[in-house]
A and B are shown apart, each in its own frame.
Chain A
Amino acid sequence: MSGDTATQKILARASGRERVDVGDIVWAKVDAHVMHDNQGPFRMGKDFAELGLPIWNKDRFMLTADHHNPPTGDSQSKVLNVTRAWAAEQELSHFYDAEGICHILMAEKGFVRPGALVTGTDSHTTNTGALGALGVAIGPTESIGVLAKGEVWLRVPETIRVHYTGRVPEGVYGKDMVLLALRDLKVDGAEYKVLEFSGEPLMSLPVEDRMTLSNMAAEFSAKSSIIDVDEATAEYLKNAGVEDGWEAVRSDEDATYAASYEYDVTDVSPQVACPHRMDNVYPVEEVDSPPLQRAHIGSCTGAKLLDLQAAAAVLKGRRVAHGLQLLIAPASKDIMSKAMADGTLGALIDAGGVLLPTTCGVCAGRGPGQLGDGEVCISSANRNYKGRMGSAEASIYLASAATVAASAVKGRVADPREFIS
């Protein structure tokens, strides 16, 4: 008998079984659950009220108002007001209103522990993988079931291993490493499967940048993602107030994988996903873009402190190109205040950056900064299909925050390495 993947072990524990096989359907206990304004009370509040059941565990449940916040019109205000009223009525202990994007808040506030099963009403719930937890997306109606029972049914998925070797070169980040894999696996490459990212260069990244990979597992249609836990993870958790009460779960050496991919990153260039698909990926030097009107550093994927710092390293003492607007939306208030304290935000604003709220904003096609017909944008976010950031007649390139910053200076997609060496 071959060994088990980390995912099998997590689901076995969560379903109270000794062992589970791929394909088994289990009812699993949820360790933490998150819901946001866009897939929350506005859609499920009435049905939940009709059931008349209490929330299974308010200490393990987070509600955020991050998608429609601040509102740009009447319909968004309504969604927000329903969300706030529900949070008050349910007497929630963890409701965060425009404080940050749910996936980042879940990590920052210690809701995610290694070995845990996490559910969330958002596809990027896979973000938890960087902390060794299995994060699975569900919708608002299914969230009713989780809130009522603290359980969810799941099919035990196969795992695809993406292994990195070599050393991470200057100018290359987690974003480039994940885009490299997306180029080959494609947007349906991990359908119903878990992506396990591994290898020394990956583990050499700060935990926040490992999140860029686990977060974008969603772009492969993955059910979830998982990354090994090490001392850096323990340190991250400690800072989030999680000192104990967790145990690292690892795949066995002889675990069975559905497929394995290996990338030596030593000589890899920064990568860019070109319009209009996330898997349309080329090395930056091969991308000859039209002039850009917008550069965006934002979202749960690409606006963590280290993303802002990488962008600031490129932009410090420089100006964005004439005719281009640079938008900066830190992923949480905590990130924003740290970036204020260390001079990062000042450098970005001095270079011409426009500061936006610490919410999903334009990455969710909401708020200020949406693209107009024919406009071209480069973004550190996660999706670039037509209409994602506004007009369906706009074009979006996706890259690391450093590549976005270099492109903002040049006014076209540009290589960050010439600014930071």
Chain B
Amino acid sequence: MSETQTIEGGAWVFGDNVDTGYIMPSKYASLPDEELAAHAMEGIDPDFPKNVQAGDVIIGGRNFGCGSSRETAPRGIKHAGVGAVIARTFARNFFRNSLCIGLPVLICADAESIEQGDRVRVDPIAGRVENLTKGQTLQAEPLPDHIMDMVKAGGLVPYLKQTLT
């Protein structure tokens, strides 16, 4: 039943208060999902879309994804291949939107111990983040059961299909 799997890739480190307007600039708001990928994180790192690899992981500081509630922000980075986002804290809109579209997001007090380019393995169900480069294992904050059910289902829509229809 679980569609969520372990993710492994390189770390991309960004700082505090990364606004969704930097994650996905407003001017791309009318693009279909598959075209959003080419502009992921463009507002803060114009080279990100061409350098990101499938399975890479974004590391944020505090309040990652603040500002506008645009779902194009997590959609864009998911379509660009990002496997998960790990941050010390998330802005609630980005956090909820990510869970809804099936992009794993992990709240991790030690997120900032991960450096740019570190190799990271993430188990979203167990909330475990292994820094393969540094040989460290970090534990994410556990999420309530009803949210984990959605994570396990792979997002809100598959979860609703299981439970409502």
Chain B residues in 8 Å Cβ range of A42: 30
Q: How far is the CB of B19 from the nearest CB of chain A, in Å? A: 5
Please give, as numbers and ranges, the residues of chain B lying within 8 Å of A142 by CB-CB distance.
96-97, 100, 156
Q: Is A138 an interface residue (CB 8 A)?
A: yes
CB < 8 Å neighbour of B92 from A68, A140, A192: A192
Q: Tell whether A50 is near chain B: CB-to-CB under 8 Å.
A: yes
Taking a contact as CB atoms closer than 8 A, the residue among B19, B70, B72, B100 that contacts A385 in the complex is: B19
Verify if B17 is at the interface (C-beta below 8 Å from A): yes
A218 cross-chain contacts in B, Cβ below 8 A: 67
How near does chain B come to A373, taking the closest CB pair, in angstroms?
14
**Would you call A223 and B43 a contact (CB within 8 A)?**
no
* A interface SS class: mixed
Contact pattern, A 118-152, Cβ under 8 Å of B = 1, otherwise 0: 00011100000000000001111110110011000
Say if the beta carbon of A392 comes within 8 Å of chain B: yes
Is A53 close to B, CB under 8 A? Answer: yes
Chain B neighbourhood of A365, CB < 8 A: 21, 25-27, 29
Minimum-distance CB pairs A-B, first 7: A365-B26, A139-B97, A188-B63, A139-B71, A141-B100, A75-B30, A123-B69
At the interface, yes or no: B7 with Cβ under 8 Å from chain A?
no
- Is B31 on the interface with A (CB-CB < 8 A)? yes
How many A residues are at the interface, by size bracket?
Answer: 35 or more
In whole Å, how far is B113's beta carbon from the nearest beta carbon of chain A? 20
Pick from A53, A79, A141, A392: contact of B71, CB below 8 A: A141
Contact pattern, B 62-88, Cβ under 8 Å of A = 1, otherwise 0: 110011111110010000000000000
B71: which A residues are within 8 A, CB to CB? 39, 43, 139-141
Chain B residues with Cβ below 8 Å from A144 are: 156-157, 160
Given contacts A38-B30, A122-B69, A387-B22, 11 further A-B contacts (CB under 8 A): A67-B29, A75-B31, A137-B69, A141-B157, A145-B160, A188-B89, A364-B26, A365-B25, A385-B19, A385-B21, A387-B43
Q: Mark contacts of B127-165 with chain A using CB atoms, 8 A cut-off: 1 yes-contact digit, 0 otherwise.
A: 000000000000000001010000000011100110011
Interface 0/1 of A206-248, CB less than 8 Å to B: 0000000000001001010000000000000000000000000
Q: Are A188 and B62 in contact (CB under 8 A)?
A: yes
Q: Are A25 and B69 in contact (CB under 8 A)?
A: no
User: What is the bound-complex CA distance between A106 and B55, given in angstroms?
Assistant: 41
The answer to whether A385 touches B22 (Cβ under 8 A) is: yes
Contact of A386 with B157 in the complex, beta carbons under 8 Å: no
A–B pairs, 29, beta carbons within 8 Å: A38-B30, A39-B69, A42-B30, A43-B72, A51-B164, A53-B165, A76-B30, A138-B69, A138-B93, A138-B97, A139-B70, A139-B71, A139-B96, A142-B96, A149-B164, A153-B146, A187-B17, A188-B91, A191-B66, A365-B21, A365-B27, A366-B27, A366-B29, A383-B67, A385-B19, A385-B22, A385-B67, A392-B25, A392-B43
